[in-house]
Amino acid sequence: MKRILFFVIVWLQILFLTLISFQYSLIDQFGEEIKLKTVRNYGQEFGWIDHKENLHPNFDIERINKDKWTVDPGELTYKDKVYVLLTQDGDGFYVVKEASTKKLTAVEGEVVLIGSYNYADNGVYEVDLQLGNIRKELHQSINHRNTFTVTVKLAPWGQRKVIKLEKTGN
């Protein structure tokens, strides 16, 4: 009996490790695709490149106006967990419908992203949804000084994967 239990535990561990190793590739199959716009960060560029040459875009959904919050955003502190409910606009881009520190529920055509609160500036509240870190191979054809669209796949288990960048402006 102990021998059978030992083999069952070993096979469960192997199965678990196999699932972990393939979960990034499973995003393509099970993930929901959303398109996001970039914005200038206080008159500067639409994204910045780190020392490893990864691109970190400035998304419009990461700057949330006060009227979109279901809680008083003035009471937020740095790195508070926030939930952002996104809905699709007429152009196919996802925009902020609602933001809160309480868990939000999405219906058909909506998605909820979890991030952290950064700071406020003139009634606009900056959050970090951790959608950046785009590898050089994917962003080398895009000029991050101009507007571009980012297509992201969101897995049901919370993982995110940038699958496409497209130039949208000059």
pLDDT digits (tens, 9 = 90+) for 57-88: 888 999 999 999 998 877 889 999 999 999 99
Read off the pTM: 0.83
Q: What are the start-end ranges of the E strands in 30-80? A: 32-37, 47-49, 55-57, 63-65
Other residues' Cβ atoms within 10 Å of the Cβ of residue 55: 23
User: Strand, coil or helix: what is 80?
Assistant: coil
Other beta carbons within 10 angstroms of residue 97's beta carbon come to 17
- Which residues lie below 8 Å from residue 3, measured CB to CB, with a gap of 6+? none
Per-residue pLDDT, 42: 61
Domain ranges of the chain: 32-167
Cα angle value 102/104/110 (rounded, 5°)? 155
Q: For residue 105, what pLDDT is reported?
A: 93
Among 64, 73, 67, residue whose Cα is nearest residue 127: 64
Residue ranges of the chain whose pLDDT lies below 70: 41-46, 49, 51-52, 132, 169-170
